[in-house]
Structures are given as structure tokens and as C-alpha cells.
Homo-oligomer: A and B are copies of this chain.
Amino acid sequence: MVLDRLQQLAHHVNATTPPPHPFDPLSTSEIDAAVALIRKEHGSLNFNAVTLYEPRKAQMMAWLKDPENAPRPARAADVVAIAPGGKIYDGVVDLDQRKIVEWKHTPNVQPLITMEDLQEVEHIALYCDPWTIGYDERFGTGVRLQQALMYYRPHVDDSQYTYPLDFCPIYNAETKQIIHIDVPSVRRPLNKAPPNNYLPASIEKEGGFRTDIKPIHITQPEGVSFQVKDRIIDWQNWNIHVGFNYREGIVLNNITFNDKGNVRPIFYRLSLAEMVVPYGNPEHPHQRKHAFDLGEYGGGYMTNSLSLGCDCKGAIHYMDAAFVNGAGASTIIKNAICIHEEDAGILFKHTDFRDESMVVTRGRKLIISHIFTAANYEYCVYWIFHQDGTVQLEIKLTGILNTYSLNPGEDTKGWGTEVYPGVNAHNHQHLFCLRVDPNIDGPDNTVFQVDAVRGPGEVGSAENQYGNAFYAKKTKYTTPVESMSDYDGFTTRTWDMANTNKLNPYSKKPVSYKLVSRDVPPLLPKENSLVWKRAGFARHAIHVTKYSDDEIHPAGRHVPQTSGEPSHGLPAWIEAAGSNCSIDNTDVVLWHTFGLTHFPAPEDYPIMPAEPMTLLLRPRNFFTRNPVLDVPPSFSRSPSQVAAGANNCACKKNDGSSVLV
């Protein structure tokens, strides 16, 4: 141990740059170092992932509390590699000690399909969207497969989604061969409709672009209001470490709020941990279309390099993302993460009608975002921090519908919509899994279900004479099994993550953060269906588990080609934890599945106007008072100022940039 520590210190002393923060993603040199160590010992491999092996929480919490004296968590790499012949290896490399600490063959799994894997298929079968096969019982898990959703392009600049082909080759990624082609019993010849394109050359031909949009300039002449030190952002009392990995994309760690000098922990870790997009057409082989875009492809791997003034406007801070490629070299996506501020409209306002005293204060928000392209589709992920302590997750869905061929006059049978002649866009859901590791004034937290319900007593009774009684019914989840629960629109159900050891001094209620989420459809594939078995996390809107360092991926570590028998991830963990596992006043993780059901329409085609959805994490009984009272008002006047006739005194009205039309 002493030797370890010395070695570690020596490493730090020798380094020309300060050591990375333990939450930082691996740098390119760390990726290269990990690959070199593995190659030396295990020879030629195809690298599927080399990512931060996140510090164990117990050690990390100790270090966060006392970075000067507590041992600094080691830097380590979490590695997935495929050996010739298709054997899958999972490993951990200690980068401080420069040694492989774990290396094991994992049978009967398939790690995610990388962009390079997808490109391989593309080279063999022109114009296809290679998808993971999902699961096909004819081929099982042993062979690494992709299904190729086929399209045709009349011209290189035409959108191929107007020309879906009716057959579906199955591709073996190991042998690089087509091993099977699914051909439907009803054949659908190539669509004869003219192209339906969205790129500028086509728009120009159809009459050109509109010319009546005047520019809006958003500028911050004095700079931004946030500070970034390495990967830690400091903004309006918030402090956030911004991580990133190949699967989840943005990971936010150690989120705290400076409450009048008292730095209070709120979340240890926030991420979008998984998602599934089941399609609703029961005809074979469309059941295979239920992409786990994070677990099967990687939201990080598919992340866009962003462009200034296009994806985000204003004063932008970018962060890059580093990955490994199949050959083991480190690669960089430039501008993977966008960090910027936006005006947030009115933060609060009140006018006292009796004396015309008033205050109006404008808000500001900080947005940490990335965008990833999953084959045909785009997900724009915005983590939004508000000054009042609210964290908002907004996701905008855009890109192109997955399409399939339809014969002239053919009935979609309600499973899809003909969005253009010959183009059938199938019904689908986008179900996301938000992983919240709460740290509400400390790690020992409890989750309550909160339902708005009517009070007891019938109309006319002594206790409820006028029938107007209602209250917030709180139900504590004491075990993971108990916590498996659904949304209830009738009670406008919310969930409180509370620290029951600390009561708000005024309300005497536990300090808490409330999850307010309203786009919460159930998983529509039926119980015991293929998707239900594979996407266990999506069976309920809420699961709560006791914290475990290794439970990050709610559909399992390796998602492609899992049969769902048994179900990986959340259902397995909850079963293993057993009915005696307590989640009352301990370190817990809340998993929330939300999203939307999409019945396509022609206005979604040939490219879909962004459809937004959102959820909030709101402080409730956390502060003793509105925490934004000290945000300078845009305009204010007190009763005595009004009485003195000094209407505009002490008021910073317009900042000068707004004008009358």
C-alpha cells in the first residue's frame, strides 16, 4: 500500500500537467496508455470501448470531502475488446500503477456496435442503416450481428428514406459476411414517387428559401457569467463537474449549490443512462426494431461535433470528447459538449395593486448540451441549470423517421402512417432512462411517491363540509420492489428524493428534490414481449435501488443481442438485492423512464421539426427561502418610493439593448 501510494505520488510529480480530476473522462494519452498496456499482454484486439473506470464512490466521497489528505482515487480505464474469433473481453487497467487489474473473457454477450462497425456494413451493402439485430432467436447471442435496413438513392444527393427496400440482410460483423436475408411474403417494389429532399439544392429548385427572417443577435459583451476550471463549472451558486463517456454522453457529477456560503451537495451523479425505441408494427422482422441507442451504439460515440452559432448561439464554451477506435488509437470529437447561458425570461414578478410597488427580475439559465445522431434520428440533450435550484432535462427529437416500403393502396393497418407516397413510418416510442444518484445534503436519502389526493370526509361532513379538502399523500419506498411504480396522471404523481435526517426549519418537512415529469407513457410492448424482457428498466416509470458502484447501465453492461432471458440490469439487480434490501435512509439511486409515443404524420417528413420534451428536478423544502432574491431586478419600486414620487429610483430598467418597434 505504501509502495502504491509512493508510485502514485511519483506519477503525479513526474507529470508535467496537474493530475486530472478523478471524474474527468480519460484523456487521449490515458487511452493510449491503456491500449498499450493491454496490447503488450494480449496482442491484437479490436477495441470496443476504453473509458473512465469511475472512482468507487466511497473513496471518491472521502476525497471530495478532504482532497488534501484523503487518498486520491486512482485513474483507471474500463476496457471492452473483441479478440479475433469474436471472444469478448472486459478489463480494467490501473493507469497510475500502469497495470491490468482485471481481464476476463465474457461469454454470451455482444458489446455495443460502434460507428466503425456500422461503417463496415455500409461498405458492403450500399445505402443501408445498419442497426443492431436487437435479438433474433434464430441466431442467438453468440455471433456478432447487425441487421441492414436497406434504402436506395436515385441520386447521391437524394434522401434515401423515401426509397426503403423491403428486404433485410443480416450481417456477421466477425466474418464480414451477409449470413441471411429476410424477405417478406408480400413484396414491395422500389418506390416510384419523386424524391422528397431537405437539403438546400432541392429547396432552391422548389422556389428557394424564405427571405423574411431578420437576424437575432445574442451577445455578451462583458463575457459569460460562468467559470470553467478544467471540467468544473461554477455558475450562480452551482458547481458541477462535466464528464462524458461513450455510452451516456454527458455525465454530471458532484453537483452542489452554494446556499449563502454553505456548499450543499445535491446530486452525486446525473446522466441519461439508457433508452429504447420500440416500434409498434408486429409484422416480422419489424419486432427487431427496438434500438437501445445508448447501450447498443453509444450516445457518446454518436455525438456531433458542434458548430458555433448553429447548434448554440451566444458565447459558447466547448469541450471535446476522447474515445478509442477499433484499432486501439485514441480519437477526438471536437466540440462535443456545448456550454452556454441563455436569458430565461421572468424569474419572478409582483405588483402590489394597492400601492403600485413592484419588482420584476429576469432569470438566466446555464445549458450543458450535446447532440447525437442515431442512424436516421437526432437527439439533442440539454441539461439546464436554473438560478432557483431547479435542474431541467430537455430533449429535442429531430432527424428523420425510420421508414419502410408500402405498396400503392396498401393498408398500414394502423401500425404506421404513409408520410409520403410509398413511405410507411411506423409507430414508435422513445423511452429514456434518467439515472439520478441523489446526494441531498448527504448520501443517505429516501424516495417518496407524492400523490395529490382528495381529503377524507364526504361533502357535508364536519371534517370536509364544503368538500374542498386535498393534500399531498406521501408514500415511502422502503425496498426496491416497492419502488417499482408507474406514473399516475390522475394524482399528477411526483417523486421526492429526501434527506429525512434534515428537516426544513420552517416547514418541518425533509429537505428534498422533487422529480416533476409529465411525459411518462408506459412501455407499450406487452408484458413478456421481447422488448419487455430486454428493456426491463422501461417496465416502470420509477425504480429505486441501493447504490452499487457497478450498477450504471439499466439494461446491462453489454446490451446487443441479449434475449432478455434473464433480463439484465435493473430487474436482475433488484432480484439479487432481495426483499430485505432497504432503500430507506441510505445511499440510493433513482431510475426514471420517461419519453413519448410517436404516431408519425406527413409534417414529420422528410425531416422532422424538433419535438421537445422536458422534466424538472425542483428543490422543495430544501431552501428556507426563495434562493434568487439577490438576483438584481430589472425594475423595482417600493411603496415608500412610490409615495415619494420617485418611480424609477434605484432601478436598472432596460439594459439598453431592448428597443421599441
The residue in chain B whose Cβ has the minimal distance to the Cβ of A342 is: B216
Which residues in B have their C-beta under 8 angstroms from that of A609?
347-348, 363, 386-388, 390, 626, 628
> What sequence of 0s and 1s flags, for each residue 30-66 of chain A, a beta carbon within 8 Å of any chain B beta carbon?
0000000000000000000000000000000000000
Take A309-B655, A459-B528, A661-B316 as given contacts and tell me if A489 and B520 are in contact as well, using a CB distance cutoff of 8 Å.
yes
**A85 within 8 A of partner (CB):** no
**A621 within 8 A of partner (CB):** yes
By the criterion CB–CB under 8 Å, are B653 and A309 in contact? yes
By the criterion CB–CB under 8 Å, are A660 and B396 in contact? no
By the criterion CB–CB under 8 Å, are B346 and A380 in contact? yes
Residues A506-551 near B (CB distance < 8 A)? 506-509, 518-522, 524-532
**A573 within 8 A of partner (CB):** no
Which one of A100-108, A139-147, A247-255, A415-423 contacts B? A415-423
Take A203-B630, A396-B345, A519-B518 as given contacts and tell me if A509 and B452 are in contact as well, using a CB distance cutoff of 8 Å.
no
By the criterion CB–CB under 8 Å, are B380 and A351 in contact? no
**A217 within 8 A of partner (CB):** yes
Whole-angstrom distance between the alpha carbons of A598 and B461 in the complex?
25
Take A214-B223, A602-B504 as given contacts and tell me if A380 and B625 are in contact as well, using a CB distance cutoff of 8 Å.
no
For residue A552, give the distance in angstroms from its CB to the closest CB of chain B: 26
By the criterion CB–CB under 8 Å, are A209 and B630 in contact? yes
Which residues in B have their C-beta under 8 angstroms from that of A469?
280-282, 415
By the criterion CB–CB under 8 Å, are B318 and A660 in contact? yes
**A476 within 8 A of partner (CB):** no
Which residues in B have their C-beta under 8 angstroms from that of A191?
none
Cross-interface CB contact of A398 among B304, B315, B349, B489, cutoff 8 Å:
B349
By the criterion CB–CB under 8 Å, are A629 and B467 in contact? no
Beyond the given pairs A156-B639, A281-B469, A418-B508, 12 more chain A to chain B contacts, judged by CB atoms under 8 angstroms and listed by A's residue number, are A203-B629, A209-B630, A214-B220, A215-B655, A219-B657, A228-B661, A282-B468, A308-B654, A346-B371, A348-B609, A349-B398, A507-B602
> What are 26 inter-chain pairs, A to B, with CB distance below 8 A?
A118-B353, A157-B640, A198-B626, A198-B629, A200-B638, A203-B629, A210-B236, A210-B631, A213-B364, A217-B218, A218-B343, A228-B661, A280-B455, A282-B464, A310-B634, A390-B609, A459-B526, A459-B527, A467-B531, A470-B524, A504-B601, A504-B602, A601-B622, A603-B627, A606-B625, A606-B629
